[in-house]
A and B are shown apart, each in its own frame.
Chain A
């Protein structure tokens, strides 16, 4: 359907109006843009700037003269972050995490959305809420919950699982965290897909029905292709979220100290800011998060590019 519309639009009138229309588009964007500058752009610029500075004692002596000064160090902080073994180890962990978790979560989110949209059940609202509810549980509560559900002495699930199962064992803990993220965000992604499904005109289904298509064919031939944009967005967001993985490892680390303060790159950045990891301060912390942003951006761009190639 969009194709035919595009064709119709190529009327001469369009170019005459394009100047004015261009301004209109920008005006629609403008209010958000103002907010974006205040809430994101200025802090980002401050962040990038502080990545170029280190916080060192001004005077000598045992207590550095009682003052820290910002010393311009150029790219030193970035180089230090990029050559920090802990950073790359953490990156390796989140990469492993993402490879397992993202396909699982996006796949289940998509599948559940299709099920709810396929007229199997009437109480759609109930299921939609049930799946989304985990996202509404505040992090501080989820921390208590998972610490309890995973602690070997307390977990109510262990008696139903094979002997020797330990959710917190070093080689299992990434899967345990993947489960936490999947639990929290599957419903979130499902809502994105549901909204995308709502945008598909029902007439398409009627047409398909006239052609004798089954529900399965409607799902695979019509719905999934039309959800491509939404799926791409959900996956990009998940990639970024995975590079910034923080809540889950922090929860697990609070009851598994062996994980350390630098289990993921984001933990390294946050704990540098909080003075729990040396070198500390806003300089090193900003440099680490900049490096994370570059990696996340590159991954997202590669994925989006690959999708576009595949699409053409």
Chain B
């Protein structure tokens, strides 16, 4: 029996001993290769079929910069899971140097103490990026990194179907309403209302209409989601829903794809980054090459569009070599042609060459030139607040608005109450309104 117990013990030691072995193994790996600096970069770019993998782009940098070696790692989860991992890692002191973060999450991560102020370095590279995108990597007076891709709202439409209906590309929302009515008479939809995207999609539209939901006022936030612009957005969708002139489908549900493939969906207010894959289901069908992209029809007189997603590369708290990290950050995010293959609408100025796939899907249109115009028209004032992630509560209200059980304006009431509550819970002051 004694022998038995001993060997059990030995087994346990073997299991944990190998762990200890790996522990020392890991410890020896870092930072001992002479003078070279190692920068860890965590991203969640797709690296998919036909794209230039991040690792290949980074390899080019590494070849030219033997003293600044970058290790890129792909994270397989979604944005909120990445945020959780970053929070855990930084708190444990093992965070990466650079990480991809969504613009809406930037203030949140900053409040959590995960990001560094790199204003002095960032200012050097400022002119390489569109102003609207650059401002999205600002937190108050702090700059936490550089923008990578943007999601200005644009309007996608099926040109052939529009010709058959005898309608022109809409330049205002009123025109879009009329087209939607004309299309609805033929059982077609010139727009889709997508509850699962409501949070960024509708806040972006409010920005395009000239509103700014969150305004700093000294040491506290003023939250106002009921401004004139937001009301215009609400009444626009309300009318379409009331008159049954809009496709109400989740953007990522199969129903949306089906409406696209069966030809009933002929127009869509969407983010610029959707251009990379929106039309994939139409490849090889009769509808291939019929779609085009245009600027977002104007909500009022602003001449602006609003941000719907997109992300930047931020410098994390533990990064020791911020100067080197930012040098790489700028280099990487100005590799516009390579990044464009990942389906990104890059934030850097200078339109990349439109990839062959997009040219084919958009009937020869220079898609990225159009996106560049949208990029420049991005509202520079709209800011996100800490806790913005919890505004995903808008999506469930949007679903109810979509089936007509509550008015569209309720979505914006949800946005207000949720953001006030989130700021309160974080201990950040909100002005009474």
Contact = CB atoms under 8 A, between A and B. Distances in A.
A63 B140 contact: yes
B426 A64 contact: yes
Interface stretch (A24-32, A225-233, A303-311): A24-32
Range of interface residues on chain A? 35 or more
Contacts of A278: 387, 390, 418, 421-422, 425
Given A57-B428, A255-B253, A275-B108, A280 B80 contact: no
A62 B390 contact: no
B426 A56 contact: yes
B111 A57 contact: yes
A48 interface: no
A56 B254 CA distance: 40
Interface in B384-433: 386-387, 389-390, 392-393, 395-396, 398-400, 403, 418, 421-422, 425-429
Contact of B196 (A34, A151, A254, A273): A254
A256 B252 CA distance: 11
Interface in A33-90: 34, 54-57, 60-64, 66-68
A256 B140 contact: no
A57 B395 CA distance: 27
B371 interface: no
A252 to B, nearest CB: 11
B396 A261 contact: yes
B243 to A, nearest CB: 21
Given A64-B428, A275-B387, A257 B196 contact: yes
A280 B387 contact: yes
A274 B393 contact: no
A89 B174 CA distance: 42
A63 B139 contact: yes
A192 interface: no
A148 B395 CA distance: 21
Interface of B is mostly: helix
A74 to B, nearest CB: 17
Contacts of B250: 254-257
B1 A20 contact: yes
Contacts of A151: 253-255
A62 B110 CA distance: 11
Interface string B1-22: 1001100100110000000000
A299 B429 CA distance: 42
A278 B83 CA distance: 16
Range of interface residues on chain B? 35 or more
Interface stretch (B152-160, B176-184, B214-222, B362-370): B214-222
B297 interface: no
Contacts of A259: 396
B276 to A, nearest CB: 20
Contacts of B171: none
A197 interface: no
B81 interface: yes
Contacts of B1: 20, 23-24
Contact of A258 (B252, B386, B399, B426): B399
Given A57-B426, A154-B255, A63 B111 contact: yes
B424 to A, nearest CB: 8
B258 interface: yes
A163 to B, nearest CB: 19
Contacts of B84: 273-274
A258 B406 CA distance: 11
Given A259-B396, A280-B387, A153 B254 contact: yes
Nearest to A71: B427
Interface of A: 20, 23-24, 27, 30-31, 34, 54-57, 60-64, 66-68, 147-148, 151-154, 254-261, 273-280
19 contacts: A20-B1, A27-B8, A61-B219, A62-B220, A62-B428, A63-B110, A63-B140, A64-B426, A64-B427, A67-B112, A67-B113, A152-B255, A153-B258, A154-B255, A257-B198, A257-B250, A258-B403, A276-B390, A277-B390
Given A31-B11, A147-B253, 4 more contacts: A27-B5, A27-B8, A57-B111, A280-B390
7 nearest A-B residue pairs (beta carbon): A56-B427, A257-B399, A258-B399, A260-B396, A279-B425, A67-B113, A278-B422
